[in-house]
């Protein structure tokens, strides 16, 4: 009875902490500007199933895709065994589904064990790729510190989880062969017949003759397994691995416009109409942006902020960015991480946007006041990074969860140009030529084909 109470308390505590963290993230995402992504639902569902559930874009790189598939499928299928653990924890039973399912139960657990072995191999491969092989995209400046540690922590947790699973199943296999189980009322003797633990259990624990020691090992495996699961649940929202959950809504709300098609904000259109026609009265919209482009995260759409919490930090976007490959400062991954870091700063100091969208802090808190003075542009993302982007959309194409790093880049650059008139001299000349000549070149359109008549 005591173990059941402890289990229930741990379950409630883990889900409570997880729920609070998720609500905080939801609040951060809601800081973004409204954007309608409710159209073409069938197409969106199809994209979500292919990209998020089907891992479609992962397989552009076969080895990491295969290793990731092992972990992904093991994670999904293992939830079946986790259901039984929850039922046993609440009811105080042991392998409650075994008598009910019989041979099918043996098949399910065997399948899970095989997947767990494959996941173990994949975990070792990923640890080697991150720490031994020195793959460039895992060692960019933005990956120093917490991002690198975060990527390793989850892999260590996966190994620990697998150790507990096979400790539980292996010691239970030996107990069952002795005619004993942890729960009162033995289910008989023989063998569970699980694909891995039926031989791994006797190999590791067969020499232990003490039933109490085997019972202890089985309980260590059971409680260790569920405690790692609870720890993972609490850790998930502060980790890049929150993409396990966010990948599905993020791909559903993907941008369905053709790649490279820029947005044309209505407030800018209204201003242009008023300039072109003195008699035109701009529409009044209480929800219209207070700025042209974006200076801080509150000027971006909620989808751009959702992208930040979906990022896996895999670096595929940066590894194909032509600007980054030629030595420029731009890293699309860093831009997305910067958006998230700014959102986390706002959450940490409980900052709030005022009616004009400017982030403010409560009086008296010096650190909060300092944080309120920060903006995404300048304090996190530099002009040099923004100007390096060629808007080729290679990063968008490469992202396995349909994140669009080009969107915040364009919005931040739009603010620089339209609000502060800050642009390279060449851009100014080009803009003037387009306005006067209808082309980027410094001669009228009528002279554009004179070269064709020259001998």
In this prediction, residue 185 carries a pLDDT of 45
pLDDT over 70 at 454, yes or no: no
pLDDT over 70 at 26, yes or no: yes
- Rounded mean pLDDT, 343-350: 92
Measured between alpha carbons, how far is 34 from 300 in angstroms, rounded to an integer?
Answer: 9
pLDDT digit string (tens) for 281-337?
777 766 667 788 899 999 999 999 999 999 999 999 999 999 999 999 999 999 999
**Measured between alpha carbons, how far is residue 48 from residues 115, 250, 288, 454 in Å?**
24, 8, 30, 56
DSSP 3-state helix, strand, coil percentages of the chain (rounded to 5)?
A: 65, 0, 30
Give the list of residues 6+ apart from residue 376 with CB closer than 8 angstroms, or none.
294, 295, 296, 297, 300, 338, 339, 342, 408, 412
pLDDT digit string (tens) for 414-444?
999 888 888 888 888 888 888 787 778 877 7
**Which among 67, 80, 54 is positioned nearest to 248, based on CA atoms?**
54
**Measured between alpha carbons, how far is residue 369 from residues 87, 352, 373, 374 in Å?**
49, 11, 6, 9
Measured between alpha carbons, how far is 183 from 432 in angstroms, rounded to an integer?
Answer: 82
Measured between alpha carbons, how far is 455 from 450 in angstroms, rounded to an integer?
Answer: 11
Q: Which residues pair with 359 in a beta bridge?
A: 353
Terminal CA-CA length for the chain: 99
Q: How many CA atoms lie within 13 A of 72 on its CB side?
A: 15
pLDDT digit string (tens) for 39-82?
889 999 999 999 999 988 988 888 888 999 999 988 888 888 88
Enter the DSSP assignment of 301. B
pLDDT digit string (tens) for 108-166?
999 999 999 999 999 999 999 988 888 888 889 999 999 999 989 999 999 999 999 99
pTM over cut 0.75: yes
pLDDT over 60 at 184, yes or no: no
């Amino acid at each position: 009875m005591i173990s059941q109470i402890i289990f229930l308390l741990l379950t409630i505590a883990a889900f409570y902490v997880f729920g609070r963290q998720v609500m905080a993230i939801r609040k951060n995402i809601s800081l973004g500007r409204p954007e309608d992504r409710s159209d073409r639902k069938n197409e969106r569902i199809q994209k979500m199933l292919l990209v998020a559930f089907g891992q479609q874009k992962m397989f552009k790189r076969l080895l990491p895709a295969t290793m990731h598939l092992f972990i992904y499928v093991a994670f999904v299928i293992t939830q079946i065994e986790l259901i039984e653990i929850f039922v046993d924890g609440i009811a105080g039973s042991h392998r409650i589904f075994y008598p009910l399912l019989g041979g099918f139960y043996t098949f399910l657990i065997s399948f899970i064990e095989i997947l767990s072995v494959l996941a173990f191999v994949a975990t070792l491969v990923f640890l080697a790729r991150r720490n031994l092989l020195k793959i460039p995209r895992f060692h960019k400046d933005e990956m120093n510190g917490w991002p690198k540690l975060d990527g390793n922590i989850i892999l260590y947790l996966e190994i620990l989880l697998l150790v507990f699973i096979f400790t539980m199943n292996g010691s239970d296999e030996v107990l069952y062969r002795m005619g004993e189980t942890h729960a009162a009322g033995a289910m008989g003797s023989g063998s569970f017949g699980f694909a891995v633990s039926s031989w791994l259990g006797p190999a590791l624990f067969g020499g232990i003759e003490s039933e109490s020691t085997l019972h202890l090992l089985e309980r260590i495996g059971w409680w260790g397994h569920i405690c790692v699961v609870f720890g993972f649940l609490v850790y998930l929202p502060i980790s890049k691995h929150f993409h396990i959950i966010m990948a599905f809504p993020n791909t559903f709300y993907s941008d369905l416009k053709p790649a490279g098609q820029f947005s044309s904000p209505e407030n800018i259109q209204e201003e242009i109409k008023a300039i072109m026609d003195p008699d035109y009265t701009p529409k009044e919209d209480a929800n219209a942006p207070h700025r042209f482009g974006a200076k801080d995260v509150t000027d971006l759409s909620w989808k751009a902020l959702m992208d930040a919490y979906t990022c896996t930090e895999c670096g595929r976007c940066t590894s194909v960015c032509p600007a980054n490959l030629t030595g420029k400062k731009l890293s699309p991954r860093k831009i997305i991480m910067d958006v998230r870091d700014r959102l986390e700063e706002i959450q940490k100091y409980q900052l709030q946007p005022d009616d004009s969208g400017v982030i403010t802090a409560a009086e008296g808190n010096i650190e909060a006041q300092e944080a309120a003075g920060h903006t995404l542009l300048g304090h996190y993302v530099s002009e040099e990074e923004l100007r390096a982007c060629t808007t080729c959309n290679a990063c968008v194409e490469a992202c396995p969860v349909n994140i669009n790093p080009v969107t915040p880049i364009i919005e931040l650059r739009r603010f620089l140009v339209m609000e502060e008139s800050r642009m390279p001299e060449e851009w100014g000349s080009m803009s003037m030529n387009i306005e006067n000549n209808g082309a980027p070149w410094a001669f009228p359109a009528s002279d554009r084909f004179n070269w064709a008549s020259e001998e």
